[in-house]
Copies of this chain bind each other. A is one copy, B any other.
Amino acid sequence: MALEHAILVSLLEKPGSGYELARRFERSIGYFWTATHQQIYRVLKRMENDGWIDVRDVPQQGRPDKKEYSVADLGRAALSSWLQDPIEPESVRHDLAVKIRGAAFDDPTSLIREVERHRQAHRDRLAHYLAGEARDFTPEASTAGPDGPLDAERELQHVVLRGGIAYERMMIGWLDDVLATLARFGPAR
Contacts and interface: CB of A to CB of B under 8 A. Distances in A.
Copies of this polypeptide in the complex: 2
B185 A152 contact: yes
Interface string A101-131: 1111110001100100110011001000000
Interface residues of A, number: 72
A132 interface: no
Contacts of A103: 83, 156
B178 A163 contact: yes
A72 interface: no
Contacts of A93: 2, 32-34, 90
Given A33-B92, A34-B91, A102 B86 contact: no
Contacts of A33: 92-94, 97-98
